[in-house]
Amino acid sequence: MICRFQTSVNLVSALVAFSLAIPFTGCGPSGPKLYKVTGKVTIDGKPAHSAMIVFNSADGADSAVADLSNEGEFEMMTGGAQSGLVPGQYSVQIIRVEGGSVEEGEEEAPPSNVPAKYGEETSGLTADVKEEDNVINFPLVSS
């Protein structure tokens, strides 16, 4: 009787362990290779701030978002919190964010200096992500 009970417990334990392991198969660095995408956004030669940048692939399959630092710099991250993007053509939006990041000593974030037209889907901004580390700058104008 004890042997049958022990065998049943071992079988159940093995089945539970196997079923818990199944969701993790295939996790990790699988899928398409991502390439680093960094850059800087400026408005009339000054760093853009209180904004985020969004890359959407031409086929709609991939997108990424990043906050702009107060120096206008960014590094694109995919939804899985991985750095980089799949190579290809992207439409780009730079969206104003009220209450953006606050520098030490400031009481509140400065208002965004990014014109609203760059946050629209028809912003006209594009990026070509290549199979290498990419530095993509956006020198924009306010008018």
Q: What is the pTM of this model?
A: 0.72
**Residue 25 domain-assigned?**
no
What pLDDT does 15 receive?
36
What is the amino acid identity at position 119?
G
Please say if the pLDDT value at position 115 is more than 90: yes
Distances (CA, A) of 103 to 30, 47, 70, 86, 110: 37, 14, 8, 32, 10
Q: List pLDDT tens digits, range 7-40.
A: 333 433 433 343 433 333 344 556 789 999 999 9
Better-scored residue on pLDDT, 25 or 60? 60
What pLDDT does 23 receive?
38
Distance CA 76, CA 128 (A): 13
DSSP secondary structure code for residue 71 in this structure: T
Lowest mean pLDDT among 86-90, 108-112, 125-129: 108-112
> Structural domain tally of the chain?
1
**Residue 15 domain-assigned?**
no
- 55: nearest Cα among 70, 71, 39, 44: 39
Domain residue limits at 59: 37-140
What pLDDT does 81 receive?
74
**Residue 118 domain-assigned?**
yes
**Residue 65 domain-assigned?**
yes
